[in-house]
Structure 1
Amino acid sequence: MSKAAKSLFDPNLFLAKVSEGTTILNFEKNAVVFSQGDAADSVFYIQKGKIKVLVVSEQGKEAVVGIMEPGQFFGEGCLNGHPLRISTTTAMEECVVTSITKAAMLAALKSEPQFSELFMAYLLSRNSRIEEDLIDQLFNSSEKRLARLLLLLANFGKDGAPQPITTQVSQETLAEMIGTTRSRVSFFMNKFRKLGFITYNGKIEVHSSLLNAVLYDKPEIKSDE
């Protein structure tokens, strides 16, 4: 599908026409969309806001494994035979989400090729991100992992100009996502600010100099612990 064709297809308008099996849901900040262990019987599409995905181990330890943005799906595991949710999702800010039952989602994928292609592109992108995250965890230092996460949150490498990280993301959340401690994140964030890689002005703004430091493996950001 060409970029022009993609721009003509609006998933929000398409889902609004699917009257049976879809529901528009509004969530306040910190509201739980679904919890780990709940029945998995629907897929969700984000219209507005950001959703945090976290998992809890048998020992009760929590870890943030992703932040989902507008235009992304979550809860798609039900299409792959998962009877229960394997994660908990919460709203990081006010969110508008379309809930699509499993049956309605399968029917939409069969009836609308453009929607099917959109969903496939999302799955491929998500799979690539998971592979990149695994490589990041295996081979990069926590400092490099934080730099990469900040670049991702600021949309570097995606279509359009980089944007400030408008959603409030705590240092605890950043630490959970890269597998380190909050004190280490605080140390690295202060270092990045002093080097001019980021600025604070009520929100985090990431500069292109951070991208260059990561891409060209500059010594300012250490490659090992």
Structure 2
Amino acid sequence: MNKKDLGELKQARIFNNITEEQIESLMDCVQGTIRNFSKGSTVFSAGDQIDSIGVVMEGQLEVESLDYWGNTAIINLINPGEIFGEAYASADAEPLPNDVIALSDCRVLFMNMQHILTQCQRACSFHNQLIQNLFTIATRRNRYMNRKISHMSKRTTREKLLSYLSDIAQQKGSNSFQIPFDRQQLADYLSVERSAMSAELSRMAKDGLIKYHKNQFELLDQ
């Protein structure tokens, strides 16, 4: 593993408080391997049985579900430094329910989950740190999914949009912010129809609730 790879991995939350030298040492313990994916390629498919988690080093991934009629819903976007697959990478886990797709050219580190959770004979302190980091990330991911459920539980498209935009504003600590989605991605994330959502955004702007341009939004005082 070269210096550039180690520098990228050091930025990932799962390696918080672990040095580059310790990361390199961990790769043997966790069977770490790096793979490249081209834009549009499938990293994991729904129905796969997996035994490894992924860490995005470069690029962006999308976790999406596809229903019987071919409708797509975005579950999550995964950016550099973030992990995926942790909930299903064990021997007794269910098959993956969703596809993981590369939105751009990507580099991903894969680590065997069983080897992460089982300490090697050296019982390294930084291996313990890796496990603690994984637990912290899983807790944060659970909070993220709870927020999404809260947005989607709203009855109308306007209520879903206001719930989501208000949540982002609170996270950013500002009434002016960028969201990580384009229009289609936002519609898929909130499980609403794109044209209806776009029309509702226009009405919300006309009603003095928001200003927006592309993915830049500003919440206005009523």
TM-score, length-scaled by structure 2: 0.71
Q: Which residue number in structure 1 is paired with residue 132 of structure 2?
A: 117
The answer to whether 1:53 aligns with 2:63 is yes
Deviates more, 1:134-143 or 1:190-199: 190-199
- Structure 2 counterpart of 1:17, which letter? S
Alignment gaps of 5+ in structure 1: 1-5, 219-225
Compared with structure 1, are the counterparts of its residues 138 and 198 closer, same or farther at alpha carbon in structure 2 (3 Å cutoff)?
same
Match of 1:99 among 110, 126, 130: 110
The 2-side partners of 1:38 and 1:11 are apart by: 33
8 A contact 1:50–1:68 mirrored in 2: yes
CA-to-aligned-CA distance 1:153-207 (integer Å, 9 cap, x gap):
x7861699x8645x6x44332212111101122223444666553223xxx2233
* C-alpha contact 2:35 2:108 (8 A) present in aligned 1: yes
**Contact kept in structure 1, 2:151 and 2:164, CA below 8 Å:** no
Question: What is the CA-CA distance between 1:8 and the residue it aligns to?
Answer: 6.3
Given the alignment, which residue of 19, 35, 57 partners 2:27? 19
1:129 aligns with 2:150: no
Residues 192 and 198, structure 1, Cα contact 8 Å, conserved in 2:
no
Paired residue type of 1:27: F
Paired residue type of 1:89: V
Q: Distance in 1 between matches of 2:172 and 2:136?
A: 14
CA distance in 1, matches of 2:20, 2:56: 9
Larger radius of gyration: 2
Runs of 4+ in 1 over 6 A off after TM superposition: none
Q: How do 1:173-212 residues align onto structure 2 when only pairs under 5 Å count?
A: 173-191=185-203, 195=208, 197-200=211-214, 204-207=215-218, 210=219
Give the residue type in structure 2 aligned to 1:22.
G
Q: What RMSD, in angstroms, separates the aligned Cα atoms of the two structures?
A: 3.6
One-letter amino acid of the structure 1 residue matched with residue 42 of structure 2? V
Look up the equivalent residue of 1:84 and give its one-letter code. Answer: P
Deviation of the 1:42 alpha carbon: 1.1
Find the aligned partners of 1:12 and 1:115 in 2 and give their Cα distance: 13
Confirm or deny that 1:9 pairs with 2:17: yes
Tell me, yes or no, if the aligned pair for 1:53 and 1:67 is still in contact at 8 Å: yes
Structure 2: runs of 5 or more not aligned: 1-13
How many residues align structurally? 200
* Paired residue secondary structure (1:79): coil
CA contact (8 A) 2:18 2:129 kept: no
Structure 1 residues 159 and 147, CA, compared in 2 at 3 Å: closer, same or farther?
A: closer
Deviation at 1:34, TM superposition (A): 0.9
Aligned ranges for residues 163-178 of structure 1 at < 5 Å?
Answer: 164-165=178-179, 169-178=181-190
Could you list the per-position Cα deviations for residues 133-162 of structure 1 after superposition, in whole angstroms to 9, with x for gaps in the alignment?
Answer: 22222235322323454577x7861699x8
User: In structure 1, the residue corresponding to 2:93 is in which secondary structure?
Assistant: coil
Superposition TM-score, scaled by structure 1 size: 0.70
1:157 corresponds to: 171
Distance 1:139 1:40 in 2: 34
Report if the CA contact (8 A) 1:55-1:87 is conserved: yes
For 2:97, which of 69, 78, 86 is the aligned residue? 86
